[in-house]
Chain A
């Protein structure tokens, strides 16, 4: 707990001034007003000590995602288990689109005098991206704002703003199906050792059927069987995070993903991080997977180049796949 020196000085000044008037002009009536100031300060502090640790805050998004041109909103809630509440609390938060980091601090001063209440914080975004609201600090004040207590929670909530879909024509490209894949293979195929090309560590998005349960149980970690023919049949969506065309790229990517999973096509989304030169693969089969992929896409740093992801993928990956390279409105297919 800390003391608000400015308010305290003003408060003491008021008491001293009234005391001086009472003494100089010999007016006992003014003592009433002096005592009033002292008593309410004491009451205020006593209530604050009893209440300050009984208030709990929580933060959540109003909707999991929004589509352009809608904007996301966040809900800040508090619950007070004490009988009395506090008059005011300051919630210091920052809100940013991950593509455009900023240092603007926002301070929300809210009354905390009910048993529970919630505040809707809308964020009007003028661009697609992942909007994140982070609460950095909450300061609680006593009734007279003489004493304050600061808590530093780590609440954070994010909402992706998805772009509008656009017409991408005939999609996906025709991929030759010359062998069994994970959709067509029988239950037994995976158990024949010749079908297994390699065994690798589990990555998010891998199907449960592919998990090598025996090996995973032995090594205490999840391992996945990579089938001999699967990778050759897979389609990989490779979007470029080119700063100038990010909006169009996002729109194209989303359109591709939606079209493909609606048509129950097999594909993976490969998201490139230009800082770490690393990839993340996402197998999308439903809206949840789509959101996961898009959220991850929004979290990556932007860059100026137009083919950074493609070049790095070609030079470093040994996977054989049909790569759909997405940049802006261009969707190019290659192997």
Chain B
């Protein structure tokens, strides 16, 4: 009599009832040796573990005790692979393994941790060298002897990888999972063109080939679950029973031979050309983007990859350091009509930051803009500008230099189109001549310029002083010339030592000051970084300065995208011009032209704009489509707490006018970006859910139709019965977990009685007969 396990008998009970027979445990005449197969898998695990970990260490030329590692890896691999020998060994020795791993890790925590950090530090150093990063995060190593600690770390890492690979190889024989565990170890050095030695590549190639063969052969898995081990794995799929032979020795041996041959041939023929670094492909945007992420991770860690608020190219209104990358959407924000009179950038200011905190600029408590606008510049010209605010934020008013709110005139019936009368400046030289400053006679304004606009946080002074130390040689006696010279010195310093990038990574929140982090660690950044740092440095040098945000119109944009209008030139500009343009032009300004710059106070002329951002040398030549993609990815993380607002809220908690709006304001939610992304996500989830319900319903209907067509009384009754049980459970008439038909009948009687009491239309059901029928079919 062929023995079947109890579970199998249960599974096949219906089949036995229907067919009066069942296929028993199939056997193969020439059986495979389970011990040999376990050891074979152990061999694959060893090769994969050894080649990945030692390949990584050798690629970075990290020294460690190789003989010890090899012996230990052989032991780990043999141990974990033997776990699949039988069920008893599996459960007992897995527990032993995890206990031993945890206890030993606790015992040798210091050297293991130090070794791990040493490896990370070495890798980061290499990455830093490759990407020419100024500084790099460095973790502390508790034990200094790297040879010892790296060996310890490799041992534990090897044990961990062996466990993972045992699941991937012995458990599932899955090439994808094996590659997922091992390939990153090779990819880390290969990414920066550090090719591991040939033996490791050969080993991995061999393992992958062998596992692909074994996986697709279908005869590589060994079952350990169940009461005892069967030669054939048994699956039941609807009307088909499948019996698949488990691991087969000849299949393993053939895979070994073919894999070995393929790996030897490929490695010998192709290693030399493959190990040569490939030529750099110009315009490979995906690689550039990945490299930006890698740089951010190397410098700032994972937190640097996430945005604290929206990272589109629009205005941040003084917020600093919260975005990993600037990702403009390249949609037109403003349409500006004016007459270009020189080749300088035209700035349209919307925001002025005077008070600096660790991660944000704030406007001064008192607004002096109207007062400043009373100044007579004596530039002997007058101009008019038309600004159509399409997507620049209607709360923002954009003003060119020099103008004020009183120069603003809105088009009739529109709040997004206005005209500004302004006095444009031709050249910087216009501001150099010393002029008596009438406005400074106002003590409040004087205080604003020479106190507020010179304020520097105390904790920042040391950093700033270190930077400006070499600038002490500036010998200008005239105050305005001195200030301009100071600015030039700072700009030159940045130009020589810093890089422009739109992907600098976000500033580590709470731990670091935005300017301090930029000056000491990051040394890469975009306009907000340069403008903020320049303002702080100038203030430390005694130059009143402030931070501005708005849009800029460089002359290149005028030449590339401007449209000539029919407007009369003389109405729009009167005065000297350095360009040959004698038309009023209209320029579409997209959000990539949102910008931050600085204003320096020049006595007699007021706050004059200066460009603090160094030019980009093409490293950030990223296409709009790529930004769109990145935007979608990052906007989910941008909906986070605005820490500064939270701080203010904490200080003003006695405010009785507290409202829900104030809470919302604490969160800097970019409603358009987050909402659109969330809308997409929720739509996809909702559609998927609805589709799931529809498909489920259709399958159910098809099933019922098939049951009816086949006159399958059993399944039809089971369906009806289960439906009834569900309904009774939903209505609270059944409390038991696994009710017997008698319980269901009793509950159904109760339900009908309840129903007939509460409804006019009575239900007349003979439950006795119905359940007799149910039971007859179900237990037949």
Chain A residues in the interface with B (C-beta under 8 A): 7, 23-33, 35-37, 39-40, 43, 69-71, 84-85, 87-88, 95-97, 99-100, 102-111, 113-114, 117-127, 129, 131, 143-145
Contact = CB atoms under 8 A, between A and B. Distances in A.
16 contacts: A27-B190, A31-B270, A33-B208, A36-B208, A40-B209, A69-B1, A71-B1, A95-B21, A102-B18, A102-B19, A107-B241, A111-B219, A111-B250, A122-B24, A123-B23, A145-B218
B30 to A, nearest CB: 5
Contacts of B4: 124
B213 A143 contact: yes
Contact of A24 (B24, B245, B263, B284): B284
Contacts of B626: none
Nearest to B250: A113
B331 interface: no
Contacts of B218: 87-88, 109, 145
A299 to B, nearest CB: 16
Contacts of B511: none
A126 B245 CA distance: 25
B545 to A, nearest CB: 43
Interface stretch (B94-102, B275-283, B571-579): B275-283
B292 interface: no
A97 B20 contact: yes
A84 B250 CA distance: 10
Nearest to A4: B216
Given A24-B287, A100-B20, A119-B26, 12 more contacts: A25-B191, A28-B273, A28-B275, A28-B276, A32-B271, A87-B251, A96-B19, A109-B243, A109-B244, A111-B251, A118-B28, A124-B23
B162 interface: no
A19 to B, nearest CB: 13
A130 B254 CA distance: 41
Given A26-B281, A32-B270, A110 B262 contact: no
A190 B161 CA distance: 90
B29 interface: yes
A113 B28 contact: no
A107 B250 contact: no
Nearest to B189: A29
Contacts of B195: 29
A120 B21 contact: no
* Residue in A29, A70, A102 whose Cβ sees the most chain B Cβ within 10 Å: A29
Interface in B190-213: 190-191, 195, 201, 205, 208-209, 212-213
Contacts of A35: 266, 270
Contact of A99 (B2, B20, B212, B280): B20
A122 B2 contact: yes
A208 to B, nearest CB: 39
Given A26-B284, A36-B209, A124 B245 contact: no
Interface in B208-256: 208-209, 212-213, 216-219, 232, 239-245, 248, 250-251, 254-255
Nearest to A92: B240
Minimum-distance CB pairs A-B, first 9: A87-B217, A122-B24, A113-B250, A111-B248, A26-B278, A109-B244, A102-B19, A125-B21, A127-B20
Nearest to B242: A107
B236 to A, nearest CB: 10
Interface string B1-38: 11010000000000110111111111111100000000
A126 B276 CA distance: 69
Given A113-B251, A125-B20, A106 B243 contact: yes
Contacts of A123: 21-24
B615 to A, nearest CB: 27
A26 B286 CA distance: 11
Nearest to B265: A39
A25 B277 CA distance: 10
Contact of B258 (A43, A102, A131, A145): A43
Nearest to A88: B218
Contacts of A103: 239
A144 B259 CA distance: 13
A126 B270 contact: no
B290 interface: yes
Contacts of B15: 104
B267 interface: yes
Contacts of B273: 28
B613 to A, nearest CB: 30
Contacts of A107: 240-243
Given A31-B270, A87-B218, A103-B239, A108 B26 contact: yes
A25 B286 CA distance: 8
B18 A122 contact: no
Nearest to B248: A111
A127 B16 CA distance: 10
Contacts of A33: 205, 208
B71 interface: no
B740 interface: no
Nearest to B276: A28
Contacts of B275: 28-29
B262 A120 contact: no
B240 A87 contact: no
A124 B219 contact: no
Given A120-B29, A126-B16, A84 B254 contact: yes
Contacts of A111: 217, 219, 245, 248, 250-251
Given A39-B266, A70-B1, A87-B218, A118 B29 contact: yes
B92 interface: no
A26 B279 contact: yes
Contacts of B765: none
A85 to B, nearest CB: 7
Contacts of B239: 103-105
Interface string B446-472: 000000000000000000000000000
